[in-house]
Chain A
Amino acid sequence: MTGGFIGFAIRRIMAAIPTLFGVTVIVFFMVRVLPGDPARLLAGLNATQDEVDRIRVQLGLTKPVAVQYELFLRAVAHGDLGKSITTQAPVVQEISSRLPKTALLAATATVLSGILGIVSGIVVSTRQYTSVDYLVSVVAFAGVSIPVFWLGLMLMIVFAVFLHLVPAGGAAGPTSLILPSITLAAFSIAVIERQTRSSMLETLHQDYVRTARAKGLVEGVVVYRHALRNALIPVVTVIGLQFGALFGGAILTETTFAWPGIGQLLVSAISARDYPIIQGVVLLFAITFLVVNLLVDLLYGYIDPRIKFG
């Protein structure tokens, strides 16, 4: 069994490697498909000719593309993503100073969506086809349809502008985390609620649950002790995948609430044509997403005893 899992893990990790290279190829070509001199793009319009020449040598722009790509990979592997055009600070420094903010936001939203999604999913699964079930369905549809930035603005108007309960934006103090994390979590709550509901329903109709009921166990014990444990396995996967997706969703949420994370850094970099920053953030987002998905896959293989590692 364990040997099977290790084999599965190795195959899965190997399969992710081409994707990882694909991502670096896209980021590498980003500045090279743009019209204009890549060295000038990466140095910025205000850079001196010396600076541009230095970057040209550094990127090997006079050499073949394959060599340039190798130089790029080497630099990335050494954590050298260049310097921001706007602040002249190293890209890695710009990103790492903001990363904790985004991680905090994404983690809070994940916990929030996990709790609310699972609880509401369990509640409606025991009340299939009741008015509560239909109501929650409609709310879940609303959750995946609502524009995250508009939800954020509306919450801001009600709770910050009218009621003065929380700050309207920024990241000052724990209360400033409330609105952004609710906003970011909305979509995931709906997705997790749907997954919990359907996997609970599936489990509740299985034979061993019927046996538990036939033994005369209290319904609460049947639902929480017998059904929930198995039903949660696919839910855990969905929560993991949502965590990765939240990093992407954070781009809009952070801009809405002026939350100083990497999503906001990316948006301002795109507006300012700060290509070293864009490259760095895109690379970080994609690699994080890739790694999270990989871990979720491995976790799923590990916790679900029914998985066959074929």
Chain B
Amino acid sequence: MVTSIRASSSAEPARERAFSHPLAVLGRFGRSRTAVAGLIVLVVMLAGAALAGVVLPYNPDTADLDATLHTPTPAHLFGTDQLGRDILTRVVYGGRISLVIGALAVGISGAIGVPLGILSGYYGGFVDAVVQRIVDVMLAFPGFLLALTLISILGVGLTNVVISVGIASVPVYVRLVRGVTLSIRQLTYIESARATGLRDRVIMFRHVLPNAAAPVVVQSSLQLGAAILTAAGLGFLGLGVTPPTPEWGTMLGEAVTYLLTSWYIALFPGLAIFVAVMAFNLLGDGLRDALDPRMKVL
């Protein structure tokens, strides 16, 4: 679950909503230096994660017990960990794990949350009441606790981390898409579509869903950051992806033991989480301004 730090205000310059040409959207996005910075960071991370095997001379899992806990040197830019593994290599490979967890978890939340949100907003009544009560119960678990509770039931491991983090963010999508659906359900063109005899399923898919696209894209960028953060938190507690997989949070959790003597093994994995999450947040913020300046997320 992500808390949007952009509180809305009428004092901020409100730009025209209406329809935006893709080039106009791109132009607005390009003007935000922070958003472009976020995008560049993410592209570099993706490239690193994809090309890790090509650009790095070390294997992330190969231990070198003659070179444990070395401070950063030209050969090992980020130093080596307690088993002599190259930390830079593990951080870059960790990007793979974290980005995959983030993408899959957000995919799960969206795949469950978006349809539920549309159904809930479109039909209202009993369906809405049931869905909203379930969402209320899920939201009663503050932030990190829901994912943690789910992992305590499912057990640790990569798959269960993805499932827990994904399910924990379902309410965000339900609320968001339900809000969009409610706001357009009464509009004339939906009424016309219904009058022409289109089936509900077609209306929801063809006429309601596209309206939710922009908010969902923005929210997903923020959720990607949040999912990485939550997964790393689970890993840090030893309740996430299990060692020796180079997941950033798990690496940090292992590093705690050596903190007093070797600060650098805790510095870099955490820095990687921080940079990735910040990049997704900046990207999301820029996307929000570009796609729909007046949009409020949560």
Contacts and interface: CB of A to CB of B under 8 A. Distances in A.
Given A30-B149, A202-B10, A205-B10, A247 B136 contact: no
Contacts of A255: 236-237
B270 A202 contact: no
Given A19-B133, A19-B137, A23-B137, A140 B5 contact: yes
A240 interface: no
A30 B282 CA distance: 37
Given A145-B281, A153-B270, A270 B256 contact: no
Nearest to B279: A145
Contacts of A148: 233
A37 B270 CA distance: 40
Given A22-B134, A140-B5, A202 B11 contact: yes
Given A146-B274, A150-B252, A270-B152, A26 B145 contact: no
B144 interface: yes
B141 A34 contact: no
Contact of B277 (A147, A252, A267): A147
Contacts of A256: 256
Given A161-B263, A270-B148, A142 B278 contact: yes
Interface in B31-84: 34
A278 interface: yes
B21 interface: no
B241 interface: no
A49 interface: no
Interface string B102-123: 0000000000000000000000
B229 interface: yes
A271 B152 CA distance: 8
B11 A205 contact: yes
B165 interface: no
Interface residues of A, number: 60
B293 interface: no
Contact of A149 (B5, B12, B252): B252
Contacts of A271: 238-239
Interface string A194-229: 110111011011000000000000000000000000
Contacts of B170: none
A266 interface: yes
B153 A30 contact: yes
Contacts of B11: 198, 201-202, 204-205
A246 to B, nearest CB: 8
B141 A282 contact: yes
Contacts of A290: 140
B278 A141 contact: yes
B153 A34 contact: yes
A198 B266 contact: no
Contact of A198 (B8, B143, B151): B8
A118 to B, nearest CB: 13
Contact of A285 (B10, B145, B259, B274): B145
A251 B148 contact: yes
B287 interface: no
Interface string A273-305: 000001000100110011000000000000000
B259 A190 contact: no
Contact of B225 (A145, A267, A289): A145
A267 B253 CA distance: 13
Given A153-B270, A161-B259, A138 B5 contact: no
Nearest to B8: A198
A244 B267 CA distance: 29
Contact of A147 (B260, B274, B282): B274
B3 A191 contact: yes
A244 B28 CA distance: 37
A33 interface: yes
Interface string A149-165: 11001101100010000
A173 interface: no
A251 B145 contact: yes
A18 B7 CA distance: 30
Contacts of A144: 3, 5, 281
A199 B142 contact: no
Given A150-B271, A205-B10, A270-B239, 16 more contacts: A19-B136, A19-B140, A22-B134, A145-B229, A153-B259, A201-B11, A202-B9, A204-B11, A245-B142, A245-B143, A251-B144, A251-B148, A252-B233, A255-B237, A256-B256, A286-B141
Interface of A: 18-20, 22-23, 25-26, 30, 33-34, 138, 140-150, 153-154, 156-157, 161, 168, 187, 190-191, 194-195, 197-199, 201-202, 204-205, 234, 244-245, 247-249, 251-252, 255-256, 266-267, 270-271, 278, 282, 285-286, 289-290
5 contacts: A26-B149, A140-B5, A149-B236, A191-B3, A251-B148
